[in-house]
Amino acid sequence: MSRTPLRQVFVRYVYANHNSSAAVRRALDSLLGALTPNQIGLNIGAGSTRLHPQVKNLDVVDGPGIDYVGSAETLPFGDDHFDLIVTQETLEHVSDPERAMREIARVLKPNGVLYCQLPFVIGYHPGPTDFWRYTVEGIRKLVERAGLRVTEQHITVGGATGYYRISVEFWSILLTLGMAPLYKPAKALFALLLYPIKWLDFLFDLSPERHRLAGGYFVIARKAAR
């Protein structure tokens, strides 16, 4: 197996699919199901994921399934263009996420909806860069500063997943000291061995302190009607 596919395997195990949690699936299914035939959406940082036939994909690198190539900080669209915008685990890789959020607000139609998902407890994962993490308050503030009104906010994955992510990194780094080429194989191994920790996420839902270690959050926000 070539090195590039092997790295992709690591990423799949350590940083689980953006849509894997029940809360995320429910939210996205509801938003995508509400699209009428004449409405269009945009998935920023989509990669090859096609969420819905009416949702176009934008990424910084061209590839299969990419409809537009561009940066979230300078979206190549006119004002009031999209009815729905989705961005999942993308803005932490943007050097100026507040500028990107203002661009998102600009290209949303009045009464348009944003789904924004960002990580909190997760290790450094450049793609190709990695700048930011967002607390329960931070993600909300990012969206509100752009003039959007948050209507819903939820944890994407709980504290067990957050602990799992950090544990994979911790043991992979610790046990490969002085043996840098073994880091990625070790990471793949611990991603598999420690995976059952994630199954304890449901316990964190019972705690009023669940926000202290959450793996990440999403918000749903709306642009004011004119």
Question: What pLDDT does 107 receive?
Answer: 98
Percentage of the residues of the chain whose pLDDT score is greater than 70: 92
Residue type, 133: R
Helix/strand/coil for 118: strand
The answer to whether the CB of 34 falls within 8 A of the CB of 112 is no
CATH match of 17-158+206-222 with 3.50.50.60: no
**Cβ-Cβ contacts under 8 Å for 69 (sequence gap 6 or more):** 58, 59, 60, 61, 62
Give residue 18's pLDDT: 59
Any bridge partners for residue 202, and if so which? none
Q: Which string of DSSP letters, residue by residue, matches 4-32?
A: HHHHHHHHHHHS--TT-SHHHHHHHHHHH
Bond prior to 128 in cis (omega within 30° of 0): yes
d(CA 211, CA 84): 27
| CA distances from residue 67 to 80, 106, 186 in whole angstroms, order as listed | 19, 20, 36
Q: How far is CA 95 from CA 42, 91, 184, in A?
A: 20, 8, 26
pLDDT tens figures, 20-29: 788 999 999 9
Question: 64-123 pLDDT, tens per residue?
Answer: 999 999 999 999 999 999 999 999 999 999 999 999 999 999 999 999 999 999 999 999
Whether residue 140 is predicted with pLDDT greater than 50 in this model: the reply is yes
For the chain, which residues make up each domain, given as ranges? 17-158+206-222
> What confidence tens digit (pLDDT) does each residue in 2-59 have?
333 334 433 434 344 555 788 999 999 999 999 999 999 999 999 888 999 999 999 9
- pLDDT at site 5: 39
Residues 8 and 63 sit within 8 Å (Cβ to Cβ): no
pLDDT at 6: 39
**Integer Cα distance of 218 and 226 in angstroms:** 26
**Beta-bridge partner residues of 113:** 84, 222
